[in-house]
Amino acid sequence: MKRILLIFTILVSAFLSFADDFVFSPPAVPTLVADYANAFTSGERMALANKLNTISRETSTQILVYTTTDLLGYGIADFGQRLGEGWGIGQKGFDNGIVIVYKPKTDSTSGEVTIQTGYGIEPLIPDATCKRIIDQEMIPNFQQGLEYKAIDDAIDICFSLTKGEFTADEYSNFGEDSSVGSIIVFILLLFVGYVLYAAYGQFTIGRRPSFFSYLWFVLSLIGHSSGSGRSGSSSGFGGYGGGHFGGGGASGRW
């Protein structure tokens, strides 16, 4: 009996070691969207892959989205850190990688998500900011069954933070008193724009255009801009860069 138990223990250990090696080793075909939990439709997977491939190609920052139903006994933060380190997400020397791991909720287990950041990303997206993204942007969407939106919104915010479009401190103040200020600024800009537009019309055609024609002009510009941004498709993902992770990030469950 002892010999049988020993053999069984060795086989289990070997299997678990093999599973670890398989999961935390980079796949033969590099990808930035590994949807092993089938959380997204094929169209959603393609949209995420196109976005992440474009981010990687144009900025060198790499964001991996990984969904799974089995964390292999690891805490989700540890799982995400091992995944990022093992796959080499981000560029060597810059360590500009981000890993988002999502485990869907089941009847018997909680839903879980983590955002793990490479060494180079930690100053731009501190742990507290990762936690805020999870609590404010992701979990409310997950609770409504909006899995794609939860992940997509998190990617947009992380990308904006890495580009410096706003800082972690500015993001932490979003939705508090900034909304009123933004509305005031928008109204002022709209008014100034109309003054300039009217002056141009007076100078070129001898009369001042109406405010409604100005609004139509602004809306047409917005529509043209958003439409041009969606045209075309991104090229395939070239491969991982060998980035390193040190445990920065945050996690949440519901």
The CATH code belonging to domain 26-171+238-253 is 3.10.310.50
Helices within 33-177 (DSSP H only):
42-59, 76-87, 127-132, 139-143, 147-163, 168-172
- The pair of structure tokens assigned to 83 is 């995944």
CB-CB contact of 87 with 64 (8 Å): yes
Which residues face 66 on adjacent strands?
34, 101
- Residue ranges per structural domain of the chain: 26-171+238-253, 180-230
Query: pTM, whole model, 2 decimals?
Result: 0.70
pLDDT below 70 — which residues of the chain? 1-22, 165-166, 174-182, 197, 200-209, 211-236
Write down the pLDDT at residue 229. 40
Q: Three-class SS of residue 40?
A: coil
Q: What is the pLDDT of residues 101-137, one digit of tens each?
A: 999 999 999 999 999 999 999 999 999 999 999 999 9
Q: What is the pLDDT of residues 19-31, one digit of tens each?
A: 456 699 999 999 9
- Give Dmax over CA atoms of the chain in angstroms: 101
